[in-house]
A and B are shown apart, each in its own frame.
Chain A
């Protein structure tokens, strides 16, 4: 299941990242790496607000789509 299909409040582990290398690497530096916990806080104006480690980020549909949850 990708992040797009998660429900607000879901706490999941990241199973895989897709997309080009540069994007995956960048997500990785934010701590968005395989095996890490991710929480979908809310979906606002088409953006996915997530909590990774101690921070909040807004990801658009494409970004969210490249994050596969376990």
Chain B
């Protein structure tokens, strides 16, 4: 039996989904968090409950729950709304649970009346009843149920209240195989819409008691006048993000990571394993593979786990508070300048965790050009996998400084604006978008929810470390230990890795990066960005000093300026292959994908080149290596971009597609 969860954005569908299935899907107190359908069997506990309470025992037909993106109506406005409609109409679930935020009853019922006309058994779940009661409101559930000709259950999804009752209602309703419609308005004509509005208004008047007028100025409104203020909004946002990063990276998270990196994976584990393997007479090469390759490489990445966990705990609290919708308001002005709207901040915030869901979240943007632009720009936001790179280089080259992380995000922001502007000029994009976003009321963020989201993030991080990163490390270790004739090499510089890195190394000369090692690390980052750190760990495994310490062996490759430049290079060139796959899916054509990758590569390359050359000149009063080609490249790039921007309007269509 298929149970589909359908309702307005931010009504709590994913929260209910998690409660029914025991999953830990991402939830947030803002519209548009879920952008694709998710399917999972009912949790064992609830399935047991059903078996006990239902007269009809039906063990051959397990219940699956489907979480769908939110929609305000059956006619889709943006891409993710279409997903919900298509699923309902094509897959015909056995029963729909229509989730309604009890605090916006009248609006939600509009969609409900449309759903009830589909002749699919439907039950209604009034969610967030605690909030309604807290505000002194009441709903006559029995009356509503009679008028809608459908069963209605009251729930508080995030506390698990009313779930069993709702589930029983859903299963009983599914047996009916049909659904009467309370009003038959026909199609979506204006008259039909008006009839719907009149009907929902009557329902709200008849069955909803409110204690306060909804247009009264609330606490949330007062807070918004400060945090979304024209002048204070952006500084407050910057301060909030700085505080979160300072706490996660330099504070508690950094301390724990430091311990794991320096002591646990730096000494205790390798020493113990080394001793053990030597003790039982394992071949030194195999010991090398296990200790230097697997433990060294994976350990270098896993060491950053506490930092990432604490960061995502804080971000989850922030998201749950309802603040993110305000960020969209603040950013709207700036994004308008580059042909985007405030909605584009949503993929970018999601992208701080991982670019893949970030890129998928561009579905919520309705305009085609805007959506493609957001898809290209979203990977510039440093994702979770890039944090170890930043943390490593910050620890080695800029110990005790708190400016590295904030500056990275500022540079990322500036880059998004600059690249956006250039693209807008080249393709002559017109901002046609109309921005509208729902503003949820603030609420006290849930520690329980944040902990669950943090554990989920930790789990996926560890799974990556144990799979893709471990495999890649083994490959890297092999490549740097053996030569092309599969002979063990005395000197790393005659290894396979050195020659592969060496082929591309000349390309990085204008950036001031010397040697095959930096190239190899960058290349391995396309598999997963954490590999940049892991690859250095493997290459430097024979070094006496620990890699993470200030002034460690990485100083052989970089000055502080080129280290910072290398950091920017790895953050802003195209993302890992998995994220490129997501870009491919969202852009929908190979030609656009090639364009997007080229734009990202040029952006990352140019930022790194300018950082190295200008930084070296200003801070060290000398020319960096590759100065002449860098000047040549810069002039060519500026000329080329200038040509693209001023060429005659007739030569090109407006827009990408």
Please give the residue numbers on chain A whose beta carbons come within 8 Å of chain B beta carbons, in ascending order.
11, 19, 22-23, 25-31, 33, 36-37, 39, 41-42, 44-47, 49, 51-60, 62-63, 66
Task: Tell me whether A29 and B329 are in contact (CB under 8 A).
Answer: no
B209-224 CB contact bits vs A (8 Å, 1 = yes)? 0100011010011001
Task: Tell me whether A58 and B333 are in contact (CB under 8 A).
Answer: no
Task: Tell me whether A44 and B107 are in contact (CB under 8 A).
Answer: no
Contacts of B624 in A (CB 8 A): none
**Nearest A residue to B210 by beta-carbon distance?**
A54
Task: Tell me whether B193 and A33 are in contact (CB under 8 A).
Answer: yes
Residue B151 is within 8 A (CB to CB) of chain A in the complex: no
How many residues on the B side are at the interface (Cβ–Cβ under 8 A)?
A: 45
Task: Tell me whether A39 and B333 are in contact (CB under 8 A).
Answer: no
Task: Tell me whether B104 and A55 are in contact (CB under 8 A).
Answer: yes
Task: Tell me whether B328 and A26 are in contact (CB under 8 A).
Answer: no
Contact flag A53-B107 (CB < 8 Å), given A58-B439, A60-B436:
yes
**Nearest B residue to A40 by beta-carbon distance?**
B215
The residue among A23, A46, A63 with the most chain B CB atoms within 10 A of its own CB is: A46
Task: Tell me whether B106 and A31 are in contact (CB under 8 A).
Answer: yes
Task: Tell me whether B436 and A63 are in contact (CB under 8 A).
Answer: yes
The residue among A28, A31, A58 with the most chain B CB atoms within 10 A of its own CB is: A58
**Nearest B residue to A26 by beta-carbon distance?**
B77
**Nearest A residue to B106 by beta-carbon distance?**
A53
Contacts of A44 in B (CB 8 A): 224-225, 228-230, 233, 329
Contacts of A46 in B (CB 8 A): 230, 332-333
Task: Tell me whether B341 and A60 are in contact (CB under 8 A).
Answer: yes
Task: Tell me whether B221 and A41 are in contact (CB under 8 A).
Answer: yes
The distance from the CB of A18 to the nearest CB of chain B, in whole angstroms, is 11
Contact flag A33-B437 (CB < 8 Å), given A44-B225, A54-B214:
no
Contact flag A41-B217 (CB < 8 Å), given A59-B436, A60-B332:
yes
**Nearest B residue to A27 by beta-carbon distance?**
B436
Contacts of B215 in A (CB 8 A): 11, 37, 39, 41, 51
The distance from the CB of B654 to the nearest CB of chain A, in whole angstroms, is 18
CA–CA, A22 to B106, complex, Å?
A: 22
CA–CA, A59 to B221, complex, Å?
A: 15
Query: What are 18 A-to-B residue pairs whose CB atoms are below 8 Å?
Result: A31-B197, A37-B215, A42-B221, A42-B224, A42-B225, A44-B224, A44-B229, A44-B230, A45-B332, A45-B333, A47-B332, A49-B439, A53-B204, A55-B214, A55-B439, A56-B441, A58-B435, A60-B336
From A57, A60, A62, contact of B439 by CB (8 A): A57
**Nearest A residue to B331 by beta-carbon distance?**
A45
Contacts of B103 in A (CB 8 A): 54
CA–CA, A54 to B210, complex, Å?
A: 10
Task: Tell me whether B328 and A31 are in contact (CB under 8 A).
Answer: no
The distance from the CB of A64 to the nearest CB of chain B, in whole angstroms, is 10
CA–CA, A61 to B77, complex, Å?
A: 19
The distance from the CB of A30 to the nearest CB of chain B, in whole angstroms, is 6
B238-258 CB contact bits vs A (8 Å, 1 = yes)? 000000000000000000000
Contacts of A47 in B (CB 8 A): 228, 329, 332, 342, 435
Task: Tell me whether A45 and B230 are in contact (CB under 8 A).
Answer: yes
The distance from the CB of A29 to the nearest CB of chain B, in whole angstroms, is 4
Task: Tell me whether B436 and A58 are in contact (CB under 8 A).
Answer: yes
CA–CA, A56 to B326, complex, Å?
A: 12
Task: Tell me whether B434 and A62 are in contact (CB under 8 A).
Answer: yes
The distance from the CB of A7 to the nearest CB of chain B, in whole angstroms, is 14
